[in-house]
Amino acid sequence: MHFRGIGTATPAARYTKAECLAAFEKSDWFARLDARAHVVARAVLQRDNGIEARRLAVDSLDEVFTIDPNTLARRFLAHAPVLAARAAASAIATSGLTAPDLGAVIVSTCTGYLCPGLSGHVVERLGLRADVLAFDLVGQGCAAALPNLQLAHALLTANVCTHVLSICVEVSSAAIYLDNDPGVVISACLFGDGAGAAILSRQPAPAGRRIEWIASTSLIEPSQRQALMFEQRDGMLRNILTRAVPALAAAYAQQVLTTVLGRAGLQTADVSAWILHAGGRDVLLAIERQFGLSGDDLRYSAAMLREYGNLSSAFVYFVLEAALADAAPAGWWWLSSFGAGFSCHGALLRVS
């Protein structure tokens, strides 16, 4: 399987963490939450948390604090199809292919639910063939990009189709929830909205950089499900985020990396570019220590986190796009995501 094109999309509105704190402090919610929640929000939004800004699908930050099921559902429906189609159109444009060339589309999300699913909206907006194979994957959280790509790999390997469109789209502002739980408050300060897409093909593009999917593996540990997950409360999604997440992410990411590199006869030092999901600054630091890397090794993940926040499943597409734009050195690249489950996935790429 080869990556033929990459595309990303975000809402136009950019909000700094200082602006987010100011909006929170003047909202009705500020008075409804306790002093501890105020301290947590200020600590996250005033100190160096690795994030400077986020893109949110709202015209004003005041809208963020209207939190009810109908408002959030309308926000997801209004923005998820648009972001997904924009990212996909960008990926198609860079692939040298056209919409009718695509035999399958796979769409992942965890921040909203539609029936019929998002794939149908993408088919309509992009003018994909009526007989395109369409898959909607839900509930995999921040880790979803890799399972999405693994399904694309299976379809291509089985000769079911020649080209697959992979999309991850998250409207985190449509999954906003507030209460006095520190993990809930921190989540509200971390996540942004965006979509990422890739065109995967059996054969590489005739020109340009070649990115080949070599091998992958997954690790799912249900006993740690409570460490990071969504739950339904009052008809809305409530994020559960615990202090154990950075250590879990680093440990499982190490296991996945060791497994795939071991099978390929490679060492960590053989990896020339790291395309990693960044749950947050503390997660990146934990992975840096666990892998024995430097901050520079994770510079693409850190840069995307700083400008966009945690984009959940879409994040790794932004990191891959950044590495390609920077002409990162050819060789072995490592692509990895982790999230709810607790799950972790990794793939070895060969770039030339």
pLDDT digits (tens, 9 = 90+) for 224-244: 988 888 999 999 999 998 988
Q: Are residues 149 and 217 in the same domain?
A: no
Share of the chain above pLDDT 70, in %: 100
Q: Are residues 186 and 288 in the same domain?
A: no
The Cα 335–Cα 272 span in angstroms is 11
Q: What is the pLDDT of residues 106-140, one digit of tens each?
A: 999 999 999 999 999 999 999 999 999 999 999 99
Q: How far from each other are the two terminal CA atoms of the chain, in whole angstroms?
A: 14
Same domain for 280 and 311, yes or no, is yes
CATH number of the domain to which 220 belongs: 3.40.47.10
In a 10 Å sphere around its CB, with 0-12 CB exposed, 13-18 middle and 19+ buried, how is residue 123 labelled? buried
Quote the pLDDT of residue 347.
Answer: 98
Residue 206 located in a structural domain: no
Residue 199: pLDDT above 90? yes
User: What is the pLDDT at residue 227?
Assistant: 87
Q: Is residue 285 part of a domain?
A: yes
User: How high is the pLDDT of residue 293?
Assistant: 95
Q: How far apart are CA 265 and CA 263, in angstroms?
A: 6
pTM: 0.96
In a domain, 312, yes or no: yes
Q: Residue 191 and residue 30: Cα distance in Å, rounded?
A: 19
DSSP 131: T
The whole-number pLDDT of residue 317 equals 98
Structure tokens belonging to residue 76: 């997801």
pLDDT value, residue 228: 84
Chain centroid, CA 154 distance in Å: 21
Show the beta-strand stretches assigned E in the chain: 2-9, 14-16, 53-55, 104-109, 133-138, 163-170, 194-201, 211-220, 228-233, 236-241, 271-276, 331-339, 343-351
**Span 21-68, pLDDT tens digits:** 999 999 999 999 999 999 999 999 998 889 999 999 999 999 999 999
| Residue 89 located in a structural domain | yes
The number of distinct structural domains making up the chain is: 2
Q: Clarify whether residues 299 and 243 are in a common domain.
A: yes
Mean pLDDT of 261-287: 95
Specify whether 185 is located in the same domain as 220.
no
Q: 191 and 254 share a domain?
A: no
Judge whether residue 206 has pLDDT over 90: no
Residue 271: beta bridge partners?
A: 332
Model confidence at 10: pLDDT above 90: yes
3 state SS for the chain: CEEEEEEEECCCCEEEHHHHHHHHHCCHHHHHCCHHHHHHHHHHHHCCCCCCEEECCCCCHHHHHCCCHHHHHHHHHHHHHHHHHHHHHHHHHHHCCCHHHCCEEEEEECCCCCCCCHHHHHHHHHCCCCCCEEEEEECCHHHCHHHHHHHHHHHHHCCCCCEEEEEEEECHHHCCCCCCCHHHHHHHHHECCEEEEEEEECCCCCCCCCEEEEEEEEEECHHHHHHEEEEEECCEEEEEECCCHHHHHHHHHHHHHHHHHHHHCCCHHHEEEEEECCCCHHHHHHHHHHHCCCHHHHHHHHHHHHHHCECHHHHHHHHHHHHHHCCCCCEEEEEEEEECCCEEEEEEEEEC
Structure confidence by residue, pLDDT tens digits, 153-169: 999 999 999 999 999 99
**Domain end position, chosen among 201, 229, 247:** 201
**Tens digit of each residue's pLDDT (9 = 90 or more) over 332-345:** 999 999 999 899 99
Instruction: Determine contact, residues 300/274, Cβ cutoff 8 Å.
Output: yes
Boundary residue ending a domain (201, 222, 247): 201
Tell me the residue range of the domain where 54 lies: 2-201
Q: Are residues 189 and 320 in the same domain?
A: no
pLDDT at 100 exceeding the cut of 90: yes
Quick one: DSSP state of residue 191? B
